[in-house]
Amino acid sequence: MEEVEEMVDQGLFSSKSEFQRFAVEFVLSEMGSYEPEMVDFEELKMEAFERGQSMENSVATPDDTESFYENAARVRQFAIRGDIPTAEEYIDTTYPVTDPRCLLLDDLLASYRTLKESD
């Protein structure tokens, strides 16, 4: 999250919400034939990945896509069982914090955190 805040502070993204939208658009574009609707998506992608990771490491293969679905299912399974800390640890050990998939999985957990806090 510190990296995201730094990108917002430096003006790459106007807010954390804009980064989250970018992350979702990126993951969807890597999973299939989805065409990102975000203005200047390609430029943002190049700048964001120049910061922490090369584009070679971020290009999804079919195996990566299948792996992401499996990871998302596992995170959701932990969350449903109320084991939020294990889900968070799983995300942190699976993806670097600069990876948009990490933020997407973190967002998946947000609703479960809210449910657990209201109990």
Residue with tokens 């890597």: 30
Residue 46, C-beta contacts closer than 8 angstroms, at least 6 positions apart? 55
Q: How confident is the model at residue 65 (pLDDT cuts 50, 70, 90)?
A: low
pLDDT at 85 > cutoff 90: yes
Going 106 to 43 to 51 to 62, the CA torsion angle's sign is positive
Angstrom distance (rounded) from CA 18 to CA 42: 14
Q: Give the pair of three-digit tokens for residue 72.
A: 């998302």
- Mean pLDDT, residues 34-42: 85
- Mean pLDDT, residues 68-89: 91
Residue 23, C-beta contacts closer than 8 angstroms, at least 6 positions apart? 100, 101, 103, 104
Q: Give the pair of three-digit tokens for residue 119.
A: 């109990």
Q: What are the residue ranges spanned by the domains of the chain? A: 2-118
Say whether 42 sits in a helix, a strand or coil. Answer: helix
Given a contact cutoff of 8 angstroms between Cβ atoms, the answer to whether 82 and 117 are in contact is no
pTM of the model: 0.50
Q: Give the pair of three-digit tokens for residue 66.
A: 């299948």
